[in-house]
Amino acid sequence: MNVFQWIMLPVLVIVTIAELTCFARDRRRVRLLRTAIWIAAVVLIADPDSATSLAQTVGIGRGTDFVFYVFMLVTPAVLFHLYSQQFRMRQDIVLLARQEALRTAVPGTGLPQLSVELPGRGDSFETPIASDDSSKNSGERRE
Amino acid sequence: MRTAIEHLSDGHSRSEQPADSPAVWLVIAAYNESQRLRDTLEMVCDGRWNVVVVDDGSPDDTSDVAGRFPVWVVRHPINCGQGAALKTGVDFALGHGAEVIVTFDGDGQHDAREIPQLIQPVLEQKADIALGSRFLGRTVRMPWTRWLTLKAGIVFTRLVSGIRVSDVHNGFRALSRQAARTIEIRQPRMAHASEILDEIVRHRLRYVEVPVTITYHEETLLKGQSSLAALRITGQLLLGRFSR
């Protein structure tokens, strides 16, 4: 065993055991997937020839190239997935902010009260009349 | 018989307009614009238009300034971006029965005297959307870097969206009620302008370009997007497409 194996294998074994312990407690299936990834890492590091065997099976010469190609494919997929999730989360937050804004619209000086109907939702609501109170309220919200 | 556009062009106040006069709404998105917004609202609040100001979570007194004018004030509790602010304003205007919606910048870049000519094709139902074009009209004090960025944006839009327009990031536009309901703005930040062009293509909306004037002020340029922001907008747009 080389130095890298001496360092990484105990770490990965501990992580795998921790993952399985957590799975026993909360039964979340994602932990099994993570455990499988850690075990694959243990096997590939402990037995580098296994990566080479896999690589040769699919027509790639070296095991390191195989691992590199897998990461080349997985990394962008994970990044797009994360971006997509973040984009949707941001949209949800924006939607909440927009609905709150529409619900609390206030008329400026000299405008009458109107009933607002949100397009496509069919729910209408009264917007408050401009008054000292409403301007105070909007001031409080900002604080 | 006078047309609706004639009524709107000659300074009748809303109370003086006939009942069948189309409801034209101006949507002004503003973020930290209290000083420039005051000047803008003084220009547009002449009684001809319904106005909604969307304060996009400004920490300054943008909302308070807007509230001193006969406009509706809608305030995002957090900063969501110009695209989201415009969408909020458009939804508000649609909820109030807007027949034509004009998006107008709050920083004084646009000229309110050009609104009648911008909305004319929409009122006459010759187009679903009228896009203001500074390159068909004129610009005042535009930096050459901005000119270069915008021209590159035109080429990019032509390649990516397939729409042939002379100006791609002009916030001065008029939409019919139907177009406003059809166009889906998903990009909360600056990429919404390109997204609107995509939506025009996707829904096969009829559009025209109308010459407008864009005036660049020193403080606007300092506050506004740098030309390098075009790269960020391009990234947002492309990633937004991937995440559809």
Mean pLDDT of B26-48: 92
Q: Which tokens is B53 given?
A: 């100001």
Q: Which chain B residue lies closest to A110 (C-alpha atoms)?
A: B70
Q: Which residues of B touch A101 (CB under 8 A)?
A: 54, 74-77, 88
pLDDT tier at B99, thresholds 50, 70, 90: very high
Mean pLDDT of chain B: 85
Given a cut of 70, is residue A137 above it in pLDDT? no
- Whether B4 shows a pLDDT value over 50: the answer reads no
pLDDT of res. B13 = 40
**Locate tokens 């001031």: which residue?**
A139
Tokens of B11: 């300074």
Residues of chain A neighbouring B46 (CB-CB closer than 8 A): none
Inter-chain residue contact B77 with A141, CB threshold 8 Å: yes
Q: Are B77 and B52 in contact (CB under 8 A)?
A: no
Subunit contact A119:B91, Cβ cutoff 8 A? yes
Which residues, at least 6 apart from B193, have a Cβ–Cβ distance to it below 8 Å?
Answer: B168, B169, B170, B171
| Its pTM surpasses 0.95 | no
Q: Is B89 on the interface with A (CB under 8 A)?
A: no
Contact B29, B54 (CB under 8 A): yes
* Residues on chain B touching A88 (C-beta within 8 angstroms): 243
Query: Is residue B63 packed enough to be buried (19+ CB in 10 Å), middle (13-18) or exposed (0-12)?
Result: buried
Whole-complex ipTM: 0.76
What does the pLDDT read at residue B239? 66
Distance separating alpha carbons of residues B182 and B94, to the nearest angstrom: 12
Put simply, whether B61 touches A (Cβ < 8 Å) is no
The CATH number for B4-142+168-185+204-224, chosen from 3.60.15.10, 3.40.109.40, 2.120.10.30, 3.90.550.10, is: 3.90.550.10
The verdict on a CB contact (< 8 Å) between A98 and B242 is no
Task: Say if the Cβ atoms of B188 and A106 lie within 8 Å.
Answer: no
Q: Alpha helices of chain B — where are they, by DSSP H?
A: 4-9, 34-44, 62-67, 82-95, 115-123, 144-160, 177-182, 192-202, 218-223, 229-242
Find the closest chain B residue to A93 by CA distance. Answer: B80
Can you spell out the DSSP letters for B210-238? EEEEEE--HHHHHHS--TTHHHHHHHHHH
Per-residue pLDDT reduced to its tens digit, A68-79? 998 999 999 999
DSSP-assigned letters across all residues of B175-204: EEHHHHHH------STTHHHHHHHHHHHTT
**Domain ranges across chain B:** 4-142+168-185+204-224
pLDDT above 60: residue B174? yes
Q: What is the per-residue pLDDT for B187?
A: 77
Q: Quick check: A101 and B74 CB within 8 A?
A: yes
A21 pLDDT higher than 80: yes
A interface mutation test: which of B32, B44, B73 has the most A CBs within 10 A?
Answer: B73
Scan for tokens 């997935």, then name that residue: A81
Cβ distance B81 to A102 less than 8 Å, yes or no, reads: no
Tokens of A47: 């037995």
CB contacts < 8 A (A, B): 101
CB within 8 Å: A138 and B74 = no
Portion of chain A with pLDDT greater than 70, in percent: 78
Q: Which 38-57 residues of chain B touch chain A by CB within 8 A?
A: 52-54, 57
